[in-house]
Amino acid sequence: MAEKTDQTYRQWLLLRAIPRAPRRLSTRELHQRLIDEGYEISLRSVQRDLQSLSIQFGFVDDIEGRTSHWFWPEGFRVLDVPGLDPSTALVFLMARRHLGDALPPSILDQLSPYFDQAEQVLGQASPSGLASWSKHVRLLRRGPGLMKPEVSAVVLTALEQALLQQRTLQMRYRRRGADHVQLHDIDPRGLVIKNGVTYLVGTYGTQLPPYHFAAHRIESAEISHDPSPALPAFDLDRYLHSQRAFDYPHQDERLELVLKVTREVSEHLDERPLCDDQQIESVEDDQFLVRATVPDTAELRWWILGHGASVTVVEPGRLRSQVAAEIEQAASNYVVT
C-alpha cells in the first residue's frame, strides 16, 4: 500500500512540474525534480510515467534531436484536486497581488492557471461575500509612490534557478552611474525586496560580508555548472535583522538615543516604539523626551530628518552634530538670493 501511495504522489508531482507553453522541461530535468524531492527513481521509469500520463491527461512533448521536452498546451484547463473553493481562490488572488515580487517567475508561471480559475470562482460567488474582500483591502507603503525599476525576466529566472540549485552565477553588472559593465562570478545567498526594489545578496565564494546587487542593474546572468561553496555561518534572517544589513549600519555599537519630540510624534512612538526599552516622558507643553537604545544606522538618520522640526536629537552629541550639519546644508540650498 505504501509503495502504491508513493507512486501516485510521485506521478502527481510530475504532473505539477510540467510547465505551460511556451516553457518546456526535458525528461532529464523532470527526473532531477523528482530526485530533489527525495525519490530514487531511474530516468527510464520517468520516461514511462510521462508517456503514460501524457495519454491520460493531455500534455505533450516536443522532440528536439533525441530529447523530449514536455509542456501543457496553451489554453489547457488547469487540473486541480480538489477544485478551488472561494476561500482558497481569494488566497490565490491576494497572493498574486501582494506576493508577486517575492515569488520566482517560474512559480508565477505555474500558478497562472490557478489565478485564472480563482477569478472564475470568485466571479461566481456572492458579491456580498468573499468575492468583495479584495476590493476593500489595500497595502500602502510609506513615502511617494515611486515606480518599480524594470527587471529582465530572463535575469530573474537565472537568479531563481541559481538560488534553488545552489549554483554560481556569472553576471554582467552595471553600478549606478557607471559607464562600463563589470563581470562577476557570484554565489547567490538570497533575494531581498525593499521598497519595490529587488536585491541579490551574494558572496565571492566563502568571502564575507556579502555584497548587494540591485537586480535591475544586472544586464545578463547565466548559471554556472559550478556549485556554490557551502557557507554555514551565513543566515539571511540574522543578516537582515540582527546585523541590520539593509538599514546601512554606521558602526556596530548601539546608540543611547534621546530625542525631544512633539506630542504627535510621541503618540506615534507610543503605538509603534523604536525598541523594547523605549521610555517617553513629558517635559513641557506638547514636548516629550524619548529614550531608546537603537542601532546606529543610516535608516535612523533618514527617519529623524524626515520628521523635520518635530524631532530634535538631544543625545548622543555626535549624532546631534551630524544631523545639525545635514540640516544646515539642506537649509543653504533654499537661501533666496
CA–CA distance, 288 with 261 (Å, rounded to integer): 5
The pLDDT of residue 74 is above 80: no
Q: What is the mean pLDDT of residues 46-68?
A: 83
Contacts of 310 (CB under 8 A, 6+ apart): 261, 262, 264, 265
H or E, element range at 57: helix 43-57
Please give the angle made by the CA atoms of 216, 217 and 220, to the nearest 5 degrees: 95
21/40 Cα distance (integer angstroms): 28
- Region 199-219: what's the mean pLDDT? 92
Q: Give pTM, 2 decimals.
A: 0.64
Q: What is the pLDDT of residues 158-183, one digit of tens each?
A: 998 898 888 999 999 999 888 899 99
C-alpha to C-alpha distance for 2 and 223, rounded to whole angstroms: 38
What is each CA distance from 189 to 130, 135, 212, 228, 249, in whole angstroms? 38, 37, 10, 9, 20
Q: What is the dihedral of CA 115, 119, 121, 124, to 10 degrees?
A: -170
Cis-peptide, bond into residue 209, ω within 30° of zero: yes
Instruction: Give me the sheet containing 287-297, strands edge to edge.
Output: 279-284, 287-297, 249-262, 311-315
Question: Which position has the higher pLDDT, 325 or 105?
Answer: 325
Tell me what the pLDDT averaged over the chain comes to.
85
Q: Taking the domains of the chain in order of start, what are their residue ranges?
A: 2-71, 86-135, 153-242, 248-332
Q: Which residues contact 230 (CB under 8 A, 6 or more apart)?
A: 206
Please name the fold of domain 2-71.
Arc Repressor Mutant, subunit A (1.10.10)
pLDDT in tens, 3-41: 434 788 788 888 888 887 878 888 988 998 888 777 888
Provide mean pLDDT across the span 37-58. Answer: 87
User: With b meaning 16 or more CB within 10 Å and e meaning fewer, what string describes 244-260?
Assistant: bbbbebbeeeebebbbb
Indicate the DSSP class of residue 272: S
Q: 144-148, 317-321, 333-337 — which one is most confidently predicted on average? A: 317-321
| Per-residue pLDDT, 78 | 58
CA angle 155, 152, 226 (to 5 degrees): 5
**Among 82, 57, 83, 92, residue whose Cα is nearest residue 72:** 57
Give the confidence band of 2 by pLDDT, cuts at 50, 70, 90. Answer: very low
Question: Cell 512633539 belongs to which residue?
Answer: 262
* CATH, domain range 248-332: 3.30.70
Q: What percent of the chain has pLDDT over 70?
A: 93
